[in-house]
């Protein structure tokens, strides 16, 4: 009998497919992926690959972004119900109201958003390039949507601009409490605290380093420190531990799991690849209006 991992590797080769996985999906899925990365690295990989089929082990906005950037490729998602709740905490109507009120505004849309929201935005960003891109924009007024926490963090790094923040948040990161971080610091006094900018501003104020999932992994790998408290989803522990067998990583809080990312199992990866099911489709006209924000991000991030 063929093991499921071998079956996936065989199917991948037969079908000239590539598997892209976010750091938050289960360890065993990261293990069989061709590339694991943060949202930005995966968007770039999606553009660079010459594979005919992209299996996107992640959530809906990732699959839709990959499809918009590769309209001629088949993009498959292991679980079509894996969706980011924060993407739905923003509305097109709010963007229209903000545009009416502030003539000079740039609508900056976090990639964790619906395609409809991207279609009415000016540029897309991820947590690893948001500061860099917002600094480069000619506009003085920034409407940052959907994530108020990332938006607030960016505003502290670009104080010369005026920010309006949408009221969305990541339920996973926003639930990390300052009390839990304080307790972890007390229990591990030598450890550095590395936090994702989707955490609340009070939690970020306690951090030794703030960055995207890739940023956190790179920082911990380059650091001479041996212990770290991690303020993001626990899936990053797989890469942190693989790259740093001699270092110790503690979660800032127990149960830091994104239930949507954890829907992506090996069985579902195998099934969608074998049967070519769960193909991502984005309406052509909607895609035409939304893809420019992704292309502008790829361009401005250079
Ligand atoms: P990054 O991988 O860009 O750090 O984003 C984290 C996240 O929440 C993705 O859903
Ligand atoms: Fe969305 Fe948060 Fe899950 Fe990322 S970790 S997919 S932002 S709910």
Distance (Å) from CA 28 to ligand 2 centroid:
19
Predicted TM-score (pTM) of this structure: 0.96
Q: State the pLDDT at residue 138.
A: 98
**CA-to-CA distance for 112 and 126, rounded, in angstroms?**
8
Q: State the pLDDT at residue 255.
A: 87
- To test the pocket of ligand 2, the residue of 26, 77, 112, 153 to mutate (highest count of ligand atoms within 8 Å of its CB) is 112
Cβ of 200 closer than 6 Å to ligand 2, yes or no, is no
Residue 1 has pLDDT above 90, yes or no: no
Q: State the pLDDT at residue 254.
A: 86
Q: Residue 246, Cβ neighbours under 10 Å: how many? A: 5
Q: Using one digit for the tens of pLDDT, what is the confidence trace for 49-86? A: 999 999 999 999 999 999 999 999 999 999 999 999 99
Residue 8 has pLDDT above 90, yes or no: yes
Cβ of 115 closer than 6 Å to ligand 1, yes or no, is no
Atom of ligand 1 at shortest range from CA of 127: 3
Average pLDDT, the chain: 97
Nearest protein Cα to ligand 2, atom 6 = 84
């Amino acid at each position: 009998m063929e093991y499921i991992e071998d079956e996936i590797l065989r199917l991948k080769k037969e079908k000239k497919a590539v598997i892209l996985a976010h750091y938050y999906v289960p360890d065993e899925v990261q293990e069989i992926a061709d590339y694991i990365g943060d949202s930005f690295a995966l968007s770039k990989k999606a553009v660079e690959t010459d594979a005919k089929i992209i299996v996107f082990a992640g959530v809906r906005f990732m699959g839709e972004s990959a499809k918009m950037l590769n309209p001629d490729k088949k993009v498959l998602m292991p679980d079509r119900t894996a969706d980011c709740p924060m993407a739905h905490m923003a509305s097109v109507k709010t963007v229209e109201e903000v545009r009416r009120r502030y003539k000079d505004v740039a609508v900056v849309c976090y990639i964790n958003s619906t395609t409809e929201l991207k279609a009415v935005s000016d540029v897309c960003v991820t947590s690893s390039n948001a500061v860099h891109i917002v600094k480069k924009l000619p506009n003085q007024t920034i409407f940052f949507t959907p994530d108020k926490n990332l938006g607030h963090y960016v505003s502290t790094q670009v104080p010369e601009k005026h920010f309006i923040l949408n009221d969305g948040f990541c339920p996973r990161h926003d639930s990390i409490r300052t009390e839990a971080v304080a307790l972890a610091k007390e229990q591990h006094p030598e450890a550095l605290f590395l936090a994702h900018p989707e955490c609340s501003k009070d939690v970020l104020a306690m951090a030794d380093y703030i960055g995207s999932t890739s940023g956190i992994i790179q920082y911990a790998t380059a650091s001479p420190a041996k212990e770290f408290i991690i303020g993001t989803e626990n899936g990053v522990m797989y890469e942190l531990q693989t790259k740093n067998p001699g270092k110790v990583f503690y979660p800032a809080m127990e149960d830091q799991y994104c239930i949507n990312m954890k829907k992506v199992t090996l069985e579902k990866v195998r099934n969608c690849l074998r049967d070519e099911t769960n193909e991502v489709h984005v309406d052509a006209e909607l895609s035409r209006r939304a893809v420019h924000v992704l292309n502008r991000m790829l361009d401005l991030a250079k």
